[in-house]
Chains A and B, each alone.
Chain A
């Protein structure tokens, strides 16, 4: 990555400290700690079932870790629920697509603007100026995102009718619309072909470069990970076995044994 980034990598923005999470007898995450730096692209890799999604779900407040704490911008997150975390400025996409299937692409992305809108139902029902202006300005913002992701041709299509790759794009669009400082992307390129993956990488890098958005993304394609991430965390059986820049992680013997050697080549 070139030296002169618009948003150079800064200090810690998200600190995960000694998180443990288990489901009944299954230990999904065991005493895991790592730090995400401001403006960086952080990859989380690891075999299936390693606990990667669970980790994002903990940060996002869907799962509540039995132990440990998460700090965002130096403050410990006291209420762990998705709504509160969204208000703090952390948004996400899901591994198995969680779009609003019967709503149009544009409406899905507009829901991402929810936290930037405040008209109440009466103002909306009566079409008072506040509701109208708010709708217009947020619509304009969403149109920009639609242009950026090059999905203008499907803006009015119900999302459920779209092919998988496009749905993944819409989900990224919805997350972008939140203007969150941190985006958690759970396998944004899963099931995509090389061409689609390249496009997705371009979007992620561009957003990171132009807006400085911090990205935490789970990805299996090692080529992609090595290309776009600043730092990589390697999970195996719910434990961190590697953490650092891609080159360093790649040469880490424990990582090679546990993951790279098996999954790659």
Chain B
């Protein structure tokens, strides 16, 4: 439901949510999170992958293009940032990060071209090319890795205005700022003309065209912006989580995980990207802890990871059939139910 906008296109509800999240992210978490473990193993990868999931969401959930290859664009962003830092060290970090995103966006446009001809599962196969091409290119041409032969290339430190951001908490802050800003941009786009055109193309491309929407422009725009988000996410992922530059970290498995995040989180919602990323990241951790607690290592790690895949697979099928809007929708429903229960009780007491 659309409530009346208060500032710009935001309702009172949006603003409340935003303020609560900001206080939580910048004021509360820094005090309650006890160890670096939480930053390095949970919060940082969660935020990075959420950002990539927003990218996947834009192209798939909003523009309806079944693309698979988010990790390829993440790799493009990561190696672009590495090379920019290496070769143009005078560039301020935020600028370099933006350019890295733009380079990924250029790849997005190129590998979005098949979407003008094919759709559905065929497009999925065609976009896989981006995944393989980008990783192949990085491996093939030594220049991208600065002719490093050791195989492990350390990512440079993040330095903004001469201040290094190297502790997990500092890196978390950098990521929080980037993710907040880009999430706001994404929400603005999806609520405005840009997102409407994407969704029109998704829901009925012939009608969209008949209303004067250019399919070419709209699809390639979605691919480009999606790849930009993935590129920035990949750069942050490499510089703060991996802390090294390794193409294998951006393999097809990561693309699939991002795809699952978007499907489970809920197609066509920004919040779904965050919820889906949290689920895909945390579920294995929970499963592992659970397995160790109760079975004391009697269950093999490989079995646990198979269980993980089975659960994801089943959940995806269940969600596709019963709730295509995913966990974001379940969460909305839950909130509504709680709210109505409270107001009922309150209303009842008033009457009595």
Interface residues of A, Cβ cutoff 8 Å to B: 60, 62, 81-83, 85-87, 91-92, 94, 98-104, 106-107, 110-112, 114-115, 117, 119, 121, 124-127, 131-132, 134-135, 156, 174, 178
- CB B116 to nearest CB in A, in angstroms, measures 13
B225 proximal to A (CB < 8 A) = yes
Which residues of chain B come closer than 8 Å to A106, judged between CB atoms?
A: 2
Most buried by A among B194, B197, B210, B214: B210
- CB A92 to nearest CB in B, in angstroms, measures 6
Can you sample 24 A-B contacts with CB below 8 Å?
A60-B210, A83-B215, A85-B210, A86-B209, A98-B204, A98-B210, A100-B200, A101-B204, A103-B199, A104-B2, A111-B196, A114-B193, A114-B196, A119-B192, A119-B193, A121-B189, A124-B192, A125-B188, A126-B185, A127-B8, A127-B192, A135-B193, A156-B1, A156-B2
Residue pair A83, B212 in contact (C-beta under 8 Å): yes
Residue pair A114, B268 in contact (C-beta under 8 Å): no
Selected contact of B211 from candidates A62, A131, A178, CB within 8 Å: A178
Residue pair B199, A131 in contact (C-beta under 8 Å): no
The CA of A90 and the CA of B204, in the complex, are separated in Å by 18
B86 proximal to A (CB < 8 A) = no
Given contacts A127-B9, A127-B188, contact A111 B208 (CB under 8 A): yes
5 closest residue pairs by CB, A with B:
A86-B212, A100-B203, A98-B207, A124-B192, A125-B185
Which residues of chain B come closer than 8 Å to A174, judged between CB atoms?
A: 211
B206 proximal to A (CB < 8 A) = yes
The CA of A124 and the CA of B192, in the complex, are separated in Å by 6
- CB B15 to nearest CB in A, in angstroms, measures 14
Selected contact of A114 from candidates B186, B189, B202, B213, CB within 8 Å: B213
Among residues of B, the one whose C-beta sits closest to the C-beta of A81 is B209
Selected contact of A99 from candidates B192, B203, B268, CB within 8 Å: B203
Which residues of chain B come closer than 8 Å to A91, judged between CB atoms?
A: 210-211
Among residues of A, the one whose C-beta sits closest to the C-beta of B325 is A102
Residue pair B213, A111 in contact (C-beta under 8 Å): yes
Residue pair A111, B197 in contact (C-beta under 8 Å): yes
Most buried by A among B188, B194, B212: B212
Among residues of A, the one whose C-beta sits closest to the C-beta of B3 is A156
Residue pair A103, B196 in contact (C-beta under 8 Å): yes
The CA of A112 and the CA of B192, in the complex, are separated in Å by 14
The CA of A107 and the CA of B204, in the complex, are separated in Å by 14
B130 proximal to A (CB < 8 A) = no
B221 proximal to A (CB < 8 A) = yes
Which residues of chain A come closer than 8 Å to B2, judged between CB atoms?
A: 104, 106, 156
Selected contact of B189 from candidates A83, A110, A124, A156, CB within 8 Å: A124
Tally B residues with Cβ within 8 Å of A.
32
Known: A87-B212, A111-B197. 19 other contacts (CB 8 A): A62-B210, A83-B209, A83-B210, A83-B212, A86-B210, A91-B211, A98-B210, A99-B203, A101-B203, A101-B204, A103-B199, A106-B2, A114-B193, A121-B225, A124-B188, A124-B194, A125-B185, A134-B193, A135-B192
- CB A128 to nearest CB in B, in angstroms, measures 10
- CB A30 to nearest CB in B, in angstroms, measures 25
Residue pair A126, B188 in contact (C-beta under 8 Å): yes
Residue pair A86, B193 in contact (C-beta under 8 Å): no
Among residues of A, the one whose C-beta sits closest to the C-beta of B268 is A102
The CA of A64 and the CA of B204, in the complex, are separated in Å by 20
- CB B2 to nearest CB in A, in angstroms, measures 5
Residue pair B193, A125 in contact (C-beta under 8 Å): no
Which residues of chain A come closer than 8 Å to B210, judged between CB atoms?
A: 60, 62, 82-83, 85-86, 91-92, 98
Which residues of chain B come closer than 8 Å to A94, judged between CB atoms?
A: 207
Q: Which residues of B in the span 251-275 have a Cβ within 8 Å of any Cβ on A?
A: 268
Selected contact of A115 from candidates B189, B212, B221, B268, CB within 8 Å: B212
Among residues of A, the one whose C-beta sits closest to the C-beta of B206 is A98
- CB A145 to nearest CB in B, in angstroms, measures 14
Residue pair A82, B199 in contact (C-beta under 8 Å): no
Q: Which residues of B in the span 88-106 have a Cβ within 8 Å of any Cβ on A?
A: none
Q: Which residues of B in the span 212-251 have a Cβ within 8 Å of any Cβ on A?
A: 212-215, 221, 225
- CB A120 to nearest CB in B, in angstroms, measures 8
The CA of A112 and the CA of B2, in the complex, are separated in Å by 19
Which residues of chain B come closer than 8 Å to A156, judged between CB atoms?
A: 1-2
Which residues of chain A come closer than 8 Å to B212, judged between CB atoms?
A: 83, 86-87, 114-115, 178
- CB A102 to nearest CB in B, in angstroms, measures 6
Which residues of chain A come closer than 8 Å to B9, judged between CB atoms?
A: 127, 132, 135
Residue pair A107, B199 in contact (C-beta under 8 Å): yes
- CB B99 to nearest CB in A, in angstroms, measures 16
Selected contact of B207 from candidates A100, A119, A124, A135, CB within 8 Å: A100
Residue pair B206, A82 in contact (C-beta under 8 Å): yes
The CA of A114 and the CA of B9, in the complex, are separated in Å by 18
